[in-house]
Amino acid sequence: MDLSVQNKLEPRKGRFLLAEPFLQEQHFHRSVVYLCDHNEEGSFGFVLNKYLEISPTELVEKIPNKDLQISIGGPVDDSSLFYLHKSGDLIENAIPIADDIFIGGSFETVAELLTSGKINENEISFFLGYSGWSENQLNQEIESKSWLVAESADPAKYIFGKDKDLWKNLMAEQGRRHEILSKFPDNHLWN
């Protein structure tokens, strides 16, 4: 029985990458990556479901101590803080990714909006580092079935939610075959 992921979608900005269930690579084991860009020069995005056990306040004093989480966005530039948010109309220099999802913009404005309560924890996600692929690298990894390209009718639910079973739930959403794969144990030798 073939237990590999079956891709029907091409990677593109605004879609998700789901690590195949048996990928044991440290940074990407059962990870969900939100693609912020994909073109002929390469691709980049953020791992959504690898959380640090510290608050953003411990890294940046300007961020109020709220129920905010930081995810390890990936192994590239892992000492830099990045953020996705829904407030492109309020944050200058924010770059649109998809409907109602933006990256970056003025950090001073982000801190002010968080402090004033105009942005809450369900409208912004923070990441240390990002995931990057050089020209054709991601396409080769998809061809080798390391990733399932996925989309959702409500991507914000996955980007800004606090779903501890994000990989499992989004994988199950991709059809019956992938629902079965989502139920496999973390280590396929365990039954």
Share of the chain above pLDDT 70, in %: 94
Q: Which residue has the higher pLDDT, 63 or 39?
A: 39
The predicted-structure confidence for 18-29, as pLDDT tens digits, reads as follows 999 887 778 899
133-161 average pLDDT score: 94
Q: What is the CA radius of gyration of the chain?
A: 17
Longest dimension (CA), the chain: 55
Report the relative pairing of strands 70-72 and 76-85 from DSSP bridges: unpaired
Q: Tell me if 9 sits within 8 A of 150, measured CB to CB.
A: yes
Give the model's confidence band at 188: pLDDT under 50 very low, under 70 low, under 90 confident, else very high. Answer: low
Task: Dump strand ranges (E) for the chain.
Answer: 16-19, 32-39, 42-47, 70-72, 76-85, 95-98, 101-103, 124-134, 147-150
What amino acid occupies position 169?
N
**Residue-range domains of the chain with CATH:** 16-182 (3.40.1740.10)
Q: Tell me if 72 sits within 8 A of 78, measured CB to CB.
A: yes
Query: Which pTM does this prediction carry?
Result: 0.92
Share of the chain above pLDDT 90, in %: 63
Q: What average pLDDT is seen over the chain? A: 89
Q: Is the pLDDT of residue 106 over 60?
A: yes
The predicted-structure confidence for 163-184, as pLDDT tens digits, reads as follows 889 999 998 888 887 777 777 6
